[in-house]
Structure formats: structure tokens, C-alpha cells
């Protein structure tokens, strides 16, 4: 992989081949508490994989194990087939961006960016030149002489990204790099990271607890819970066919209601809905908010009481409690204003749904 020389001809740059990353049966514990239970993950060269999950699920620990910042109790970390489990962080040839702005406060932006190159024995002038190229990549070449405290949070993370990329590492590790930024900058930088990753073809592991972020940028997402990967797949797979209630709840705000599967369809609230895959017997049915809608008295539907309703600009999201006590989210036009305690009827669009045997 070669960093382009300028921001302009960067558009023509060819993506590199990337590095294959394999995490094999990773076990990690702290003071007797196991936080990673034999995690396996195989990341293809040039792939962008997100580790998604709630706080404390082990996603950051897994990233730190990959970086060599944490030792592992058992298992192996392989880069392009080579076992680096015992290789110290500074010898792993990784680039990492942290949640907190990790720029060195005493160094100017250009010096920060050139830091990794200098550690690799590259001469001062060559390092400075390549640092400027990397800054151009993130649109900050005019800020080379500034100190980190003279930059905004978004700019600091851009510099951190340039600093991580300039050494042309085998793997780029992003540990919730957008968490400390405001909403608008988050989206901008998120898209920028993906754009650069695609152009450089660098294998990237992105830790986040924000499902929207993960869905927007990833080739694949590994949803983690309690130190295990619950499901790994493309954003579409996770969204449409969650394998567990946990994944369904975390990705896309699915509601889980009970139904009875009968081969190729499931009955929910008296409605027959097609199934994504055949099943029989009592099941949990995952309903996406966009597939649930208000219904008229004549429709096959169920009665519910409005619990809350949130205005989200182009739409409104309402939470209702059905007669059987199930909480269901539905997404609808902002023109409808349900109030707390309103009695409504809701129905499900006849789209294929995912189910999981109840138990």
C-alpha cells in the first residue's frame, strides 16, 4: 500500500491488498473475571469490520488485544497468517486512533503526523514531506504548523487518523474515534474514514456502540455481548435477519413479539406474515419499526396504548404497549401526533420477518 502524494491524485490511487487479520479463540480475563470467551474473528484483506455492542461487552478489549496493548490468556492473533500474539505493540505495524484525542500536545501537527515515520528511521525531510501528504489526505495540510490545542475536536481526530495512516500500517484500528465529537462532525468524519479506507484498501477494525455508525460504514459487523460475538454479518444481514433477540434489539431497534410459526408464515395479532426461513411452533418475532403502522378498526391488528412519541425530523417514532403487554416501536409520518395514553390500533406490513424459537 502506498499513500498518494497529494490529495488530488489520491483519487486515482489504487487500493492496496490489505492484510488478513485472524483472531483465534481469544480468551482474556481481568482479576479472575473473563471478559472475552474464546472469540474467533476472521477479517479479509481490505475489509472494514465493526465491533458493535453495548458498554462492557468486550469490544474495546478485543481491539486492544489485537493491538497488543493487552496480553491474552489464550488464543492467537494472526496478521497475514503470522502469529503476532507475543509481538509488542510497537513491532506489530498497526495504526490506531483512540477515543480521546491522543495527539502529543507538545508537538505541532506536522511533527505529530511524522512521529511514526521518524520511529521507523525515515529521515526528517522525507518524514515531513510524507506527513504533509497524509495531512492533505484528511484535508488539513494548512494546519501543519499548529499545536493540537489550536484545533477543534474533529480536526484533532483527523490528524490522529493521518498520523495512524502515514506509516502505511497493516491494520487500522479505530477505538470509538467519533464518540467525543458532536453529531454533525461525527457523520462527516465517519464518511471520511470510510472514503479513505476504501481508497487505501487498508484492513480496518472499528469499535463503536453506535449501530447507525456501524451500519453506515462497515463491510461486516460483529455484534458482541458479554465477551462473545453473537452474530457477524453484513449490515443488511444483521438488520434483516438478526440471530438473537439481543442483536435484534441492538441493531435497528427491533421489537420482539410472540407469534406462532406455521411453516412458511407466522401469525402475529391475527395477521399472517411471510417468514424469511421456515419455522414451526411458538416463536419470537422481530418487527422493525418501519414495518409497523397504525391501522383502522377493520384491519387485522391489535389495540395498544401509546407510551411515548418522539419527533425525529422527517419522521416520528412511537412506542406503544399492546393488550398482551408487549412493547412495540413504530415509525410513522411526523404529521401524526399520538399522545401518551392514546388508544390506537397497530398492524404489521406483510414483509418477510425473522423469527427465533421461543425459549
Partner 1 sequence: MNRLGPSLVTRWVIGIVVGAFFAIPLISTFLYTLRQTDGSLGFERWAALFDPTKSAAIKPIWMGLGNSLILAAVTVAIVLLLLAPTMILVNLRFAKLKPLFEFAVLLPISIPAIVLVVGLAPIYLQIGRAFGTGTWTLAFAYGITVLPFAYRSIQASIDAADLRTLAEAARSLGASWPTVVLRVLAPNLRQGLLAASLISIAVVLGEFTIASLLNRQVFQTAMVVVQKQDPYAPAIFTLLALLFVFLLLLLIGRVARGTGKARS
Residues of this chain that interact with partner 1 (CB under 8 A) are 67-69, 88-91, 93-96, 98, 100, 102-106, 115-116, 119-120, 147, 149, 160, 163-164, 167, 173
In angstroms, the CA 36 to CA 29 distance is: 7
Dmax (CA) of the chain: 78
Q: For residues 163 and 329, which CB has a smaller minimum distance to partner 1 in the complex?
A: 163
In angstroms, give the least distance from the CB of 173 to partner 1. Answer: 8
Quick one: cell of 131? 506527513
Minimum distance from residue 137 beta carbon to partner 1 (Å): 17
For partner 1, give the closer residue by CB, 162 or 348.
162
Cell matching residue 199: 481508497
Least distance CB 140 / partner 1 (angstroms) = 18
**Whose Cβ is closer to partner 1: residue 6's or residue 100's?**
100
- Which of residues 173 and 196 has its CB atom nearest to partner 1 in the complex? 173
Q: Which residues contact 150 (CB under 8 A, 6 or more apart)?
A: 143
Q: How far apart are CA 156 and CA 189, in angstroms?
A: 11
Q: β-strand 255-268 against 354-357: which pairing, if any?
A: unpaired
In this complex, which beta carbon is closest to partner 1, that of residue 91 or of residue 184? Answer: 91
Closer residue to partner 1 in complex, CB, 173/189: 173
| Secondary structure of 86-133 in HEC code, one letter for each residue | CCCHHHCCEEEECCCCCCCCCCCHHHHHHHHHHHCCCCHHHHHHHHHH
Q: What is the pairing mode between strands 292-294 and 343-348?
A: antiparallel
The three-class DSSP label of residue 244 is: coil
Cβ 115 to partner 1 shortest distance, Å: 5
Residue pair 345/299 in contact by the 8 Å Cβ criterion: yes
Contact in structure between 112 and 151 (CB atoms under 8 Å): no
| CB 61 within 8 Å of CB 73 | no
Q: How many CB atoms lie within 10 A of CB 194?
A: 17
Q: Please report how close the Cβ of residue 52 comes to partner 1 at its closest, in angstroms.
A: 22
**Closer residue to partner 1, CB minimum distance, 97 or 196:** 97
Q: List C-alpha distances in Å: 211 to 57, 58, 203, 215.
A: 14, 16, 20, 6
Residue 166 or 256: which CB sits closer to partner 1? 166
Buried b (16+ CB within 10 A) or exposed e, 79-93: beeeebbeeeeeebb
- Burial status of residue 317 (CB atoms within 10 A of its CB: 0-12, 13-18, 19 or more): middle
Select 129 or 317, whichever has its Cβ closest to partner 1: 129
Nearest-approach distance from CB 108 to partner 1, in angstroms = 12
| Whether 301 contacts 269, CB under 8 Å | yes
CB of 76 to partner 1, least distance (A): 20
Helices (H) and strands (E) in the chain, counts: 8, 18
Name the minimum Å distance from CB 178 to partner 1.
16
Q: Which three cell numbers stand for residue 171?
A: 491494520
Minimum CB–partner distance for residue 119 and partner 1 (Å) = 4
> Judged by CB, which is closer to partner 1: 32, or 105?
105
Q: Shortest distance, CB of residue 89 to partner 1, whole angstroms?
A: 4
Amino acid at each position: 500500500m502506498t499513500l498518494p502524494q497529494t490529495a488530488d491524485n489520491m483519487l486515482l490511487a489504487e487500493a492496496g491488498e490489505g492484510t488478513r487479520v485472524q483472531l483465534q479463540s481469544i480468551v482474556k480475563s481481568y482479576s479472575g473475571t473473563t471478559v472475552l470467551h474464546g472469540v474467533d474473528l476472521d477479517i479479509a484483506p481490505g475489509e472494514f469490520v465493526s465491533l458493535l455492542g453495548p458498554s462492557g461487552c468486550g469490544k474495546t478489549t478485543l481491539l486492544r488485544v489485537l493491538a497488543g496493548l493487552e496480553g491474552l490468556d489464550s488464543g492467537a492473533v494472526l496478521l497475514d497468517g503470522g502469529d503476532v500474539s507475543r509481538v509488542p505493540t510497537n513491532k506489530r505495524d498497526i495504526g490506531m486512533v483512540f477515543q480521546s484525542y491522543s495527539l502529543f500536545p507538545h508537538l505541532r501537527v506536522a511533527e505529530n503526523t511524522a512521529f511514526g515515520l521518524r520511529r521507523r528511521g525515515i529521515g526528517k525531510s522525507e518524514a515531513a514531506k510524507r506527513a504533509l501528504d497524509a495531512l492533505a489526505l484528511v484535508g488539513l495540510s494548512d494546519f501543519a504548523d499548529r499545536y493540537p490545542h489550536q484545533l477543534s475536536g474533529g480536526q484533532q481526530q483527523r490528524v490522529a487518523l493521518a498520523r495512524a495512516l502515514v506509516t502505511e500500517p497493516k491494520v487500522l484500528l479505530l477505538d470509538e474515534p467519533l464518540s467525543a465529537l458532536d453529531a454533525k462532525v461525527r457523520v462527516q468524519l465517519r464518511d471520511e474514514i470510510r472514503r479513505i479506507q476504501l481508497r487505501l484498501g487498508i484492513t480496518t477494525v472499528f469499535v463503536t456502540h453506535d449501530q447507525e455508525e456501524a451500519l453506515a460504514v462497515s463491510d461486516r459487523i460483529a455484534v458482541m455481548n458479554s465477551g462473545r460475538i453473537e452474530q457477524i454479518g453484513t449490515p443488511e444481514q444483521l438488520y434483516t435477519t438478526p440471530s438473537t433477540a439481543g442483536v435484534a434489539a441492538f441493531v435497528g431497534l427491533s421489537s420482539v413479539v410472540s407469534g406462532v410459526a406455521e411453516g412458511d408464515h407466522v401469525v402475529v395479532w391475527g395477521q399472517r406474515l411471510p417468514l424469511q426461513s421456515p419455522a414451526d411452533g411458538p416463536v419470537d418475532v422481530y418487527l422493525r419499526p418501519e414495518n409497523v403502522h397504525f391501522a383502522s378498526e377493520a384491519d387485522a391488528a391489535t389495540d395498544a396504548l401509546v407510551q411515548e412519541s418522539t419527533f425525529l425530523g422527517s419522521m416520528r417514532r412511537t412506542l406503544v404497549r399492546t393488550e398482551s403487554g408487549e412493547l412495540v416501536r413504530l415509525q410513522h409520518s411526523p404529521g401524526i401526533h399520538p399522545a401518551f395514553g392514546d388508544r390506537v390500533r397497530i398492524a404489521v406490513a406483510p414483509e418477510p420477518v425473522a423469527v427465533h424459537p421461543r425459549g
